[in-house]
Homo-oligomer: A and B are copies of this chain.
């Protein structure tokens, strides 16, 4: 069975090898009837055109790459589900690359993808990303790049995010409305534009409510769980500790729960918490967690649709636009008065 090749198929069908080859390449020179005859026989004999040979001919890999910081994160798994739903519709394959927030890895992946392994790239930047020359190289090689969630604001490309500024504002305003006087903000990195927008929303809400900003209440967290746990314990052990927390990153809110238990702080009585989160169990936590829930699936899906639009138009240029898909503020027990 393994010896079935183009020549054998051509022989059996009494066609030229080049006709059979063109049929697999989807050439319009071959009539639909002939194509069907060829494909039917190929199926019967379980013949698949050699992947490399067809790639060399068509210059299409039918593959996209998704580069993300991590996969054990509900936002990214839901986004991948959205991306994958489009890829399956288009009969495309999906390569997943995890940077683990390492800029060197991100650069190495992008460098490697230049050789034509994929037709296009979807990326959510790692925290350590310093510049985008590694991504510009992809575009130069005719491989379109679309950003989602952690986008490069300066890139002349499509960037799909949620309404980070408004959501940060709404979360903070909600804590004010629930009576909080000292509202802390936990964020992940100054390198990420989405983190900056969320913080801008927080700062503006404080200003609009004439609440002074206390710098000790704005805490930059890291990529390490233990460090974050200690940072949050230090914050909540302060003499003038916060009575409300707006967390811009799901895992940080979970640490707040753990630290509160250790310090015997009652949520929401002693401390109210709201967080960006796509966690499935938010409603089942003790107490249930108020969240800003991002449309992660839709963000992934939209980014993929933009990418496939470019692929279908055979261009590496994607529209220079910022697409915003709104988050939902879901009030639960962690912020009740």
- Check A71 against B80 for contact (C-beta < 8 Å): yes
Closest chain-B Cβ to A314's Cβ sits at a distance in Å of: 16
Residues of B close to A251: CB separation below 8 A: 280
Residues of B within 8 A of A189 (CB): none
Least CB distance, A47 to chain B, in whole angstroms: 9
User: Per-position contact with B for A257-294: 1 when CB-CB < 8 Å, else 0?
Assistant: 11000000000000000000001110111111000000
If A95-B94, A96-B96 touch, whether A2 touches B140 (CB-CB below 8 Å) is yes
A254 touches B (CB below 8 Å): yes
Interface string of A37-66 (1 = CB under 8 A from B): 000000000101111111110000101000
Task: Give this chain's copy count.
Answer: 2
When chains A and B are docked, how far (Å) is the Cα of A283 from the Cα of B74?
17
Q: Taking the complex as formed, is A141 at the interface, i.e. its CB lies under 8 A from any CB of chain B?
A: yes
Q: Which of A111-119, A228-236, A322-330 contacts B (4 or more CB under 8 A)?
A: A111-119
CA distance A80 to B98 in the complex (A): 10
A89 proximal to B (CB < 8 A): no
* Cβ-closest chain B residue relative to A84: B98
A72 sits at the interface (CB 8 A): yes
A81 at the binding interface (Cβ < 8 Å): yes
Chain B residues, CB < 8 A from A63: 95
* Contacts known (A95-B93, A96-B96, A286-B284); A116 close to B51, Cβ less than 8 A: yes
Smallest CB gap from A280: residue in B: B254
CB distance from A327 to the nearest CB of B (A): 18
Does A12 interact with chain B (Cβ within 8 Å)? no
Contacts of A54 in B (CB 8 A): 115
**Do A95 and B98 touch across chains, with their CB atoms under 8 A apart?**
no
Cβ contacts under 8 Å, A141 to chain B: 2
Given the complex, which residues of B lie within 8 Å of A280, measured CB to CB? Answer: 72, 251, 254, 279
In the complex, the 10 A-B pairs of residues with the closest C-beta atoms, listed nearest first: A286-B286, A48-B115, A52-B55, A51-B116, A52-B56, A51-B115, A52-B52, A72-B77, A281-B281, A51-B117
Q: Give 22 A-B contacts (CB < 8 Å), ordered by A residue.
A: A2-B141, A46-B137, A48-B116, A52-B52, A52-B116, A54-B115, A63-B95, A71-B71, A71-B84, A77-B77, A88-B98, A93-B95, A93-B97, A94-B95, A94-B97, A95-B96, A254-B284, A258-B283, A258-B284, A284-B285, A284-B286, A286-B286
